[in-house]
Each structure stands twice: as structure tokens, then as C-alpha cells.
Structure 1
Amino acid sequence: MSNLLTQWQPTTPLKKRSVRNHPIARLTITLCILTLGWQAVVTIFQLPSFILPEPLGVLHKLIQRHDVLLRHAWITTSEIILGLLTGLGFGLMCALLMLLFSPVRRWMLPLLIASQAIPVFAIAPILMLWLGYGMASKVVMAAIIIFFPVTTCCYDGLRHTPQGYLDLAKTLNATRWQILRHIRLPAALPALASGIRVAVVVAPIGAVVGEWVGASEGLGYLMLQANARMMIDEMFAALLILAGLSVSLYFGTDFLLKRAIPWLPENSQSPS
């Protein structure tokens, strides 16, 4: 049965990327351009530091307050990762339940849609009331915000398995569990990978929104405190760390997915 998976293996070897076409190189060039544009705006319009600080001022604050920033960054990172794991687990479970049981699918699909119609800012105070101001409410918030993309992508991948593979498995007298394990799940992994990439990008939103509503630590809490004290350079420093954390999580997840799922479509395409 596992031999059926060979058709998803890349048929052409990956071409070696040039340095300028590497995603990290492109990201570095983009950051340099944005930094120069940032400095140009401050210089041309003579903006005060409490409106828009200079990049060097933010860098100085990053160095000066690195211990505090890293401590709060670790809290936010823990919330994001735990939220990702929680949302991913529940999303996979719900996708499998909708595939295997029709009554569950009919009841759960409207709930999935309704969960995305409610703004996250409306949910956050309720979670604070139920779960307190600790890490649990932020983890649940991050899990809720990624639950929908993970569930829908995994479910679409499971139910759009090529019919030829299913027919071949039936002729081999494969059980329902064997079809799910050896055919449907491997075929759904590329779609699930897309959902995970989206989840990694939006998970920090849930964690930071939870910290804005009520927290005593984390980058969101630090940004609120810095903004209230007009320490805009420190707020920008926390924002830059959050952006770097999100980008690092995305590229790290993308790297792991490409090696864990060799039959992803992008693995068989040469980079442009």
C-alpha cells in the first residue's frame, strides 16, 4: 500500500539556488530597503522621536533593554507555540471527525463558520474572565485563531483524495483504517501544510491580542506599557522582535514541512 506514495515523490532533482534568489537573502535586502526608507522619512519630515523614532534609536533600545525584551519575548513565544500545538491537534481531530462521520460534519461546519464571524477582540475578555490573566487564556486565543485554517485545509485535503487511489485500495481489499492511514492522510498533507503555514503567521495575533486585553508579561503587554509611557522606541523594539519571531517561525516551519513531506508540489518545482 505504501508504494502508492511514490507517485507523490518529486520527479526532478532540486536545482541549487543562487544566493540572490534565496528567501533569506531577499528578506535581508527588503529589510535594508525598508530601514533606509524609514530613516529617510524621519529625516525629511523631521519627525520627533515620540511620533516615529529613528532606526538607530530603536537599535540602541534593543541593545540597552535586551534582557527585558528577551524575557517578554520568551513568554510570547511559549504562548504561540503552545497555541499552535493545541490548535493543530484540535484541527486535525475535527477534520477527521467530519470526514468519518456525516452527522458531525453537518453540525460542525456551521460552527466553524460562526467561529470566524466573531471578532477576536470580542472573545478575549471572555477568555480572561474564564481562564484568568495567565498564559492559558493566550494559548487558547492563539489556538482559536488558527483552528479554522487548519481544520478546513486538512478536511479539504482528506476529502479530495484522488479517486483512482481509493479505487485501487478497494480492489486490494484495504480496510477503512488502511485507506485513511496509507492514502487519505498522505494525500492531505500538502493541503495541511498550507494550513499550518497560515496558522504560523496568524498565531502571534491571537497571543498578542490576549496580552493587550489583560496580561502582566509578554511582548503585547510590554508594547502597551511602553506606549502609555511614551517610550515609542521601546515599543518599536518590541514590535521588531515580534516581527522577527513571526518570520523565523514561518521559515522554520516551511523548512521542516518541505523535509517532512517530500511530495509537496513546491519540492518538485525549480525556484523562480
Structure 2
Amino acid sequence: MKPILNVLILVLATLVATAQDKQAYRVFDSKGKEADYGQLLKQSKKADVVFFGEQHNNPISHWLQIELAQDLEKETAGKLIMGAEMFERDNQAILNEYLAGQISSKNFEDEARLWDNYATDYKPLVELAKSKKLPFIATNVPRRYANMVYKQGLESLNPLSSEAKSWIAPLPIEVDMNLPSYQAMIKMMGGHGGGAASDNLVKSQAVKDATMGYFIAQNLKKGHVFLHFNGSYHSDLKEGTVWYLRKYAAGKDVVNIATVEQENIDKLDQENLGKADFIICVPAKMTKTY
């Protein structure tokens, strides 16, 4: 009887300790069933493309990104390609020069129009690519062109030079204004402009999504996993960039990951169900990177 009692005490102590743990994140599947990092990694290494949707200032997103990149590099025996929203197409040459060791980190960081949180959040990914000799693709449209579309519409891209157009998805770019994610953007605009202003906001987002989807498609390689980093809103619901990827490279196996923040992470909130194949749920009060 005493051994059984000891086991019960041990189990109870474990449950109490677990209940008192401060969890930094939990992983759920699209239906809200609890999953784990191991399942996420297993599915990711079998995919053609993995979209890691982040909250830009969320440290758990950034930590898990480098963890997943490192693990995929090992699991695929180096057959990994990385790419990111945070690097614009016209900076591919300077990114390649840095990865090849042809220019210094200072030259790269001074000239590549990097995000303010590059040093803490994205540099580890670039350095991994450099050390392992992995391709790293700048997928995003130069921001000046997205701004042109926001102010003047998609037609403003037509007079651009051939060189400029080489940094954008092929024109004309189809935009489905009825996609739920784009409709949500219009609703968020509320009374702030409406009409043409709302439409152009969506179209400027679509130029980013289309360009990222196109350059992911252009850099796919058989037997390799393409791991793409972007704001979660670009790949949630497998819309946005995923929608365009499927136009440019139909039939590819895509896994998407979303990062969400909740007050309570014990259960996935209704509004976050179905956002992605794997949903990383982080406490809303988690410390931010900026």
C-alpha cells in the first residue's frame, strides 16, 4: 500500500508544480487541440513551404523562429531555404554579398534598409544562413512601391522601369477584395477614409503579398523546405501571401504558423481558431522586443 501512496503523492506534487509553472507559450492545431513543438517541426520538415507568422515585437516568435530554422537545417541535412518580409527585393544583391562574405556586416547593415529590430530579431536568422551557406531570399516589394499604390492605386506601377518591375510580382496583379483578411482591413479603416482609400490600403497590402508569394515560388527547389518569416497577417487563414503563392506555384505543400497573444493561454480563443495549421499562443503581457 505504501508504494502506491508514494506514487500518488509524487503525481499530485507534479500536477501542483505544473499548475504553478509560468508558461511562455502553448501550441495548438487549427481546431484548438493542444499540440507541441515536436509536431510542428515534424510537419514543417515535410512541407515545401513553411510560413512562420510572427507578431513583430513578440520575443517568443523570434526565439522559436531561430529554433525552427536551426532544427530544420539539421533535419533536412542543409536542404533549407529561408526568406523574409523584412528584406526588400532591391536589396537581394547586397544580402547575397554579405552571405558570401564579400562585404562586412557594417556595410550590409548600413546600406540594406534593415528594420529597427534587426539586431535582436532577424540578425540571428541571417547569421545562421551565412554560417551554414543557406540561401536567404529578400521577398518583399520595395516599400516605396507599396506606398505608391496606397496613394495612387495599382496603375501607378505601370510606368516604372523594367528594372523596377523586376522587384515586383508580374503586373497586372490580381486582387481579390473579398478575401476575409482583406475585408477585415477595410473594416479596420472604419471612418478613416473609406472608399478609394480603403481599396488602396488593401491593394498596397496585396502588392506585398503578391511579391512575396512570387519570389518564394521563384526560389523553390525540389527536396528543399522554404521557411518564410512574415507578419502573421500575411499568412493567416492561408490567405495573403499564401493565396498568391498558390497562384504562382500550385500544388505545393504549405504549412502555416500563426502567433497570437491572449490573456489566458490555457485554451485557444474562438477568434483564433483556424488561423493556421499551428498556432503559437503567447501571454498578452509577454515582454515586447520594442
With the length of structure 1 as denominator, give the TM-score of the two structures.
0.30
When Rg is computed on C-alpha atoms for both structures, the one with the higher figure is 1
The structure whose residues are more often helix, as a share, is 1
